Structure 1
Amino acid sequence: MALKQILAVMCLTVPMLAWAENSIVGQWAMPVPNNPQCSELYSFDADGQFAVSSDQERVTGRYDIQATPALPQMNMAFVSDNNMTDCFGNTVDQTGQKDAHYLKWDNENMVQFCSDVTGQNCPVKLYRQ
């Protein structure tokens, strides 16, 4: 009976441990393909707050990460946006918007934001700074 309990605990914790090896906390950059002189800079704090700077745009918000059977899901809620131009030439106010991404780790210094849990559509790559 003790062996069954140990195996059950291992099955529940191993995926979480594998995910915990990689942390989004820190400074990240996303190069902009059609604008090589501009990069979006992301800062994720351990307390669940984030900030993004992209050209003149400054955005802040809150995030959380939840384990799923496949890829961890990152939920982002945008709290403020200065509504200035970003690296893509957009001036969209993201205040109040919510996004969900699945995190696909290539290694501890590179993570992709995927739109699907299978990790097949991952348009955003962030590099640890």
Structure 2
Amino acid sequence: VASGSEAVLGLPFRLLCIACKRRSETPAEASAEWFFRGEGEAAFHKILEYSPEEPPWVAPGPFLGVLSWNGSRGTRDLQDLSVRLEAVGRPHGGHYVCRLRRNLTFEGYVYSLARNQTLRLAVVER
């Protein structure tokens, strides 16, 4: 599911990332990572990591105290990997990658997969 692409300066904004399984009867465990690359920057860097067993980790810098987990809770199989910016600032405009890592458990084996969703966020005055 694609996230919105424009956030208003100073207001909260939810970066939407949904990763539903095709077969709900298959047991699974998942974790999420978010990466960011500002406009004009060459590389992405990790800004948030979430695992159901631990509190979310947010990187020091412009996202600390502003970015929070806003996805699935109370389950080891994450379907909603969304995050929330409490007050969007100019440094938050750029490219984001939401990465899902999921282990599906079948009889006799575990299948691991990773999926990335990329979005671009523009920060606007209103």
TM-score (norm 1): 0.35
Higher helix share: 1
Higher gyration radius (CA): 1
Higher strand share: 2
TM-score (norm 2): 0.35
Higher relative CO (CA 8 A, sep ≥ 6), structure 1 or 2? 2
